[in-house]
Amino acid sequence: MKSSKLIWPLLALGGAAVALPAAAQDYAQKEPGFFAGGGAIYTRAKNEFYSTADFPTDDEDFDDDRVSWKALAGFRFNPVLSIEGQYVDFGDAESNTARAEADGWTAALVADLPLRYVQPYAKAGALFWNTDAHVRGGLSDTLRASDDGTDFFWGLGLRVPLGEAVDLRAEYERYDLDGDHVETRIDAASLNLQFNF
């Protein structure tokens, strides 16, 4: 009985082992060039409103998660080093009394481990962000605040070739947006297609 339950996972792994080398590129031979792409991003945001004279107290802190999108482009210098820029729409985080919207641009250095069939990578750089927050007061009035700034971010990912010019990228990124009125920590997981030129 146990052997019959194991047969399907083993067949799936065997099929992947046969299909992957056919699609894979030898990353060690990858030439310099541009790349671009984008995909879906799942974000989990923790928002903390600062207690000031004109903005709510810590009672308005809230967490939320959303599915949104991002776009990316960059230049590969060699099989190991690239520079990359992104536009990231973090979506809207909402509670019963508060709402926060955030988006931003990134500039990062990407370091790859050039294996043959998969390519793990790490990246770090700057996030240029903007947030808009709206909080409803006790008398149906609405308090608003906008913040922008530049903060450090980092990420880890895995690139898998789907053909000679297309890669599938799965990655995790951590963003911290330290504003005057709202501090937001965002954990983001994304699945992207990268087109190589």
Confidence band, pLDDT 50/70/90 cuts, at residue 11: low
Q: Is the pLDDT reported for residue 24 higher than 60?
A: no
The number of distinct structural domains making up the chain is 1
Tens of pLDDT, residues 95-149:
666 777 888 999 999 999 988 889 999 999 999 998 887 766 555 556 677 788 8
pTM for this model (two decimals): 0.72
- Rounded Cα–Cα distance for residues 11 and 4 (Å): 11
CATH number at residue 58: 2.40.160.20
**Helix, coil or strand: residue 8:** helix
pLDDT 10s digits, 162-177: 988 999 999 999 998 8
CB 15 within 8 A of CB 148: no
Among 173, 153, 170, 70, CA closest to 107? 153
The whole domain housing 69 covers 2-196
